[in-house]
Amino acid sequence: MKPSFQRTARIAALASMLALVLAATGCTTTVRQVTETRPVLRNSAPSTMSELRIADTALESNNFELATSLYEKIVQADPKSVPGLTGLGNTLYGVGDFTRAGVYYQRASQIDPKATPPLIGIARVAIHQRRFADAIATYHRVLAITPNDPLACAGLGAALDLSGDHARAQALLREALIANPGDPMLSLNLGLSLTLSGDPRQGANVLLDVTRFPAAPPQARQNLALAYGLLGNDEAAAAILSRDLPKASVRDNLRYYELQRERDGQTSAQPSKSVAVSAIATPKVQTASVK
């Protein structure tokens, strides 16, 4: 396989699988605290901040209907509410309406150009729409405002990987891990990037550390299975996949790994040089009240 064709195939596979990952709200293991909400008394009028906390909690719980209703109420009271507009963008993004989500993110960013949550939303929409150069530029804007932000670094690494620049992605992610040691999302993307660039053995070593976390997301395990599969260890790959997927899907994945090995004309014990992505971690929806 010629290098140019390999790169095209990798990018096509990356983009085709990205929709499944970006549609999931649980696409990162980055821990974010959610302020505990208290019941609102029947005769009391909750403040905007309390409404934001409730809306954020609803968004965290994937209760998009309640979150949308609350964010709309906030925006009706204050059309220039950056948290409210960002929240509406997040709810639309969560249900897969990426174009309209981008409109709300842009409105919020125009009101406050230094607010990072809407910028991260803009970048995530750009990644989903395969506008990788726009996503990279937007993440750089975020990092200029908040250097070493793990959300922005993980997103930038994802955008670089999707554009085929694995070397820059890995350098960025390693540097971000120095500033944010142990961040599981950064490690997840680094392990996947190593696998994508033809070093599944090293990728598996990095991903093993991520999957040790009890709250590790399914894509962390699936990416580890991908690395094992490309190394020819189908037994380990199947055992990992079985935790989250039905038997038919496990068989499909194993067949895919075999085809990848055959496509490169390699033995099952050698790493693949043309690897497609099964999942890539991008920043999870930031709750609107978080700056």
CA pair distance 206, 225, nearest whole angstrom: 13
Q: Which residues make Cβ contacts (< 8 Å) with residue 171, sequence separation at least 6?
A: none
Angle, alpha carbons 68-69-74 (nearest 5°): 95
Tens-digit pLDDT profile for the chain (291 aa)? 444 444 544 444 444 344 333 333 233 323 333 333 334 333 334 477 788 899 899 898 889 999 999 999 999 999 999 999 999 999 999 999 999 999 999 999 999 999 999 999 999 999 999 999 999 999 999 999 999 999 999 999 999 999 999 999 999 999 999 999 989 899 999 999 999 888 999 999 999 999 988 878 888 999 999 999 999 999 999 999 998 899 999 999 999 999 988 876 544 344 333 333 334 554 444 444 433
Q: Kindly report the number of other CB atoms within 10 A of residue 40's CB atom.
A: 12
Q: Which residues make Cβ contacts (< 8 Å) with residue 69, sequence separation at least 6?
A: none
On whether the 48-146 domain is CATH 3.20.20.70, my answer is: no
